[in-house]
Chain A
Amino acid sequence: MSLDKDRVPSLKHQVKVKVGLIGDAQVGKTSLMVKYVQNVFDEEYTQTLGVHYLERKVVLGSTDVIFSIMDLGGQREFINMLPLVSEGAVAIVFLFDLTRPETLNSVKEWYRQARGFNDTAISILVGTKYDLFVDMDPKYQENVSRTAIMYAQVMDSPLIFCSTQSSINVQKIFKVVIAKAFNLTLKVPEYKQVGEPLLIYKSFGPSRPSSPRRQVHTPPPSS
């Protein structure tokens, strides 16, 4: 009379995090998503005819973090699907193309409309195509960076410059999402110099100041 201990179920917790990617056409929303989920970067541009949806499961010790990432086609004809992407999202990532400053201007409108559906989501401002940006006129870089920071202030959102093509700051976007969502203290160093792939999250977005971290004791129940 003994139990077959192999049958002991292991309970995995799931944290589901919906992330919406929003921004002008061709700033690289889908690429960012695909890159993050499948680590594939395709040079070919594919227009998003509606909303793209991908899930990524990050498997941790006792927990699965499931990012369900939705990206809305940047063309205006799809903007009536905006609620689908923004509602219920834990974080809304506003993307702009670092090489096309007008896409940053559009963020204002995107931000307004997305907030209209979800004013509790963490917003994150992401500049894409850093690999191209980095070779551009430093003045231009400085201007864009500066304006982006101002935007980030207004939106109270972390600011990240990323390059999907060169794998820069892609993972960090989603780590910042989790850190902000669960109020974790992120220790990843920030990049604040013009010319660097900016990563500014400590002073933006909902967070507590660096109060002592919650003491975490781990009395794992038998499993």
Chain B
Amino acid sequence: MSIRPNMLHDVGETSFEDVESTFTYKDDLEVPRLAPNSAASTTTENTTFSKDKRYSSHTELASEIEDDINYNSDFEEYQNGRDLPLAVDRRFRESSDQDELADLQEQLEEKLSLNLRDHKTAAGSKNKFSQYSSAGLSRPSLKDAVRQRRSMIDLATRRKGTGSIGNLNGQQSRQVPNSRSYMNLRPNAGRTLSYKSSMPSLMRFNHQDLLLEDDDNEDEDDDEVEDEDDEPYPYVPKIKRSYRDLVPRFTEKDKKVSAGDDFTYVAAEMDDDDNFNDDFEGVDDGFQFAENITHNKVPAFDTELHLSPSEYDIEHDDSLLTPQLHRKHFAVDVPFDSYREALHNHESSKQAAVVAAAANSRRSSKRVRARLKTIRQEIDLNTPMKRGKMKYNPREKRWDGNEDILRSFDNIENVDRRAFIIKNKRSRSPLKGSSSNQALGSGATAATSNSQHGKIVGKMKFDEQNLRWLRVDGAEEDPFQGITDLPPRSQSSPTKNVKFQTRDHPGNSLRSQSQLPFIRDDHGNRFISSESTRFHSLTTNPSTDPTYHITSKQLEKFYHEENKWSRKIGSWFILGDKSRDTGSADQSHTNLNDRSYMYEIRNMVISSARN
């Protein structure tokens, strides 16, 4: 609840009651060396003060009289000339140490910053000055030397590592931290992606105080984040945990979490808060309800599938992938547009402006973090990690540890499994198959059972290899004999930026090819765009086509990106410089035209600017 003071260092001497508290002890030797109320430890006192529980250690009205007596006796001590308790003696020395520490710190900073404060010491002033100048001049220079040397070492190793300037040129030198040039787009290009060290590392990541890369002019937003840990609103209802704890299905483990210090306050608060208890009334029932649901059937639909007997055929058609061939059978009563949400919900933004203006000018309604931030990983994705019960499996690229949770999907899984077989054999979407199978129930098993030998329906047998139906008896006849095939359509021209019009849309919206898996050509026929790797799926059967399909749009993007970067850093390198392109290691040392050092200079400039 209370917060450590940020700004208290400028008010060193803290308590006004130092005298009282310092002079009240009676024990001679037993006084702990850094008692909380010692005159010296003012800063710690500050913090303990604000914690409610520590108040007892300080003077109150009731005990003040007593204190006063001690206090007086303290004075008597001095007046009567009684000996001092040793403990006090010792304590006092400590206190002077503390002051001194602060003093030293102060001085050090003074000197380092070359802050020539006016020292009034007449005698020492001259000496002081020369002191300052010498200290000020040589200290940083020493530092500089060290830094420089370090970067030189870097330079050396870099050269050594890359072996030749040619290499340097080829891969690393042109790489800009944080960028992905075309070279990097190649999958796993030798892990040459270098990320800024300022990027938050996943391992270090703590979700509470997530450090975001602040690109620019977002500085003022920062305090918003900073505040977070302080929990200045203990009364803000704690989300999930608070009520979750009351839900019976959560085990003791969860409760333990909530019983942690952070939440006790809230929990306690809730206990005596009738309203809140009301909130949790019946949570139990809700839970039961949920349980029921999972065992019962779907609430929204009855389970019967109304599938026509011809379902089987339809399934074999690639209806799943060309769904638009089939117009909608049923019309939803409500027109499509009626589902639309109002344009951006600027709810009470007007109000916000008023409030913000009134409250303080630092906040305005626009102070939302409206800019998209990207957090990138710093650690290699092949690094095994462990986090709680979860273990990262770099080979499979997934987190293992709670596979049991999948058991709850078994019901669906069972349905899917049969579909899966079909899918594997027929490259059919599992879902489509699943539903039809589910619908057909046992009837479908007949079909699947002999899937080993290919499906046989009536007289026809499915040829798995060529994905076609053949007569069982092999008496295939081709009525189209003699008619030559037309040359295949070129795929590229009609697919580019097809206007896609949904039925009820007021205007045409343009969807890029990348987002639209189904492309119609001019005749309204759909064909399937080959699945690019971007349609990556987590399913156990990853997409099969490893080829990149780079559209002209993408190429254009690459081109612009490349241009952008070369504008930015181009002058640091001479593109097409032969010595760099073909240069050998020997050449690199002698060639005067070698400008790779400029990159080093740039690095130094940037890093020094950052410091």
Point out residues on A near B: beta carbons under 8 Å: 9-10, 12-18, 24-26, 30, 34, 37-39, 43-45, 47-61, 66, 68, 70, 74-84, 87-90, 99-106, 108-113, 115-117, 120-122, 131-132, 134-140, 142-147, 149-151, 153-156, 165-172, 181-183, 191-198, 200, 203-209, 211, 214-216
Besides A59-B348, A171-B341, A208-B281, 15 other CB < 8 A contacts? A39-B344, A45-B534, A50-B376, A54-B369, A80-B397, A113-B398, A120-B240, A132-B516, A137-B324, A156-B294, A169-B339, A183-B280, A196-B332, A203-B299, A206-B290
> Which of B360, B371, B536 counts the most A-chain CB atoms under 10 A from its CB?
B536
B117 to nearest A CB, angstroms? 36
Contact of A149 among B281, B300, B305, B376 (CB under 8 A): B300
- Residues in B with CB closer than 8 Å to A198 are 300
B439 to nearest A CB, angstroms? 9
A34 to nearest B CB, angstroms? 7
Contact B298 A208 (CB under 8 A): no
9 closest A-B pairs by beta carbon, nearest first, are: A39-B344, A101-B431, A55-B369, A88-B207, A136-B323, A59-B352, A143-B435, A106-B538, A137-B323
- Residues in B with CB closer than 8 Å to A204 are 290, 293
Residue B134 CB within 8 A of the other chain: no
Contact A9 B537 (CB under 8 A): no
Contact of A116 among B280, B375, B389, B537 (CB under 8 A): B389
B368-394 contacts to A, CB under 8 A, are 368-377, 379, 381, 383, 385, 387-390, 392, 394
Residue B34 CB within 8 A of the other chain: no
Contact B372 A135 (CB under 8 A): no
- Report 10 cross-chain contacts, Cβ distance below 8 Å, ordered by A residue: A51-B375, A59-B348, A59-B365, A77-B397, A88-B207, A104-B431, A109-B539, A113-B390, A116-B401, A151-B409
- Residues in A with CB closer than 8 Å to B282 are 208-209, 211
Point out residues on B near A: beta carbons under 8 Å: 180, 202, 205, 207-208, 210, 212, 228, 233, 236-237, 239-241, 243-244, 247, 250, 254, 275-276, 278-283, 285-286, 289-290, 293-294, 298-301, 305, 307, 314, 319-320, 323-326, 328-332, 334, 336, 339-345, 347-349, 351-352, 355-356, 358-360, 363, 365, 367-377, 379, 381, 383, 385, 387-390, 392, 394, 397-399, 401-403, 405-406, 408-409, 411-412, 416, 429-432, 434-436, 502-503, 505, 509-512, 514-518, 534-540
- Residues in B with CB closer than 8 Å to A132 are 502, 516, 518
Contact A106 B324 (CB under 8 A): no
Task: Report the separation of the CA atoms of residues A17 and B207 in the bound assembly, to the nearest whole angstrom.
Answer: 12
Are A56 and B368 also in contact (CB < 8 A) when A101-B430, A113-B399, A150-B298 are? yes
How many residue pairs link A and B with beta carbons under 8 A? The number is 367
- Residues in B with CB closer than 8 Å to A76 are 397-398, 536, 538
Contact B432 A143 (CB under 8 A): yes
- Residues in A with CB closer than 8 Å to B409 are 108, 151, 154
B243 to nearest A CB, angstroms? 6
Contact B239 A25 (CB under 8 A): no
Which residue of chain B is the closest to A140 with respect to CB atoms? B323
Contact of B355 among A10, A117, A216 (CB under 8 A): A10
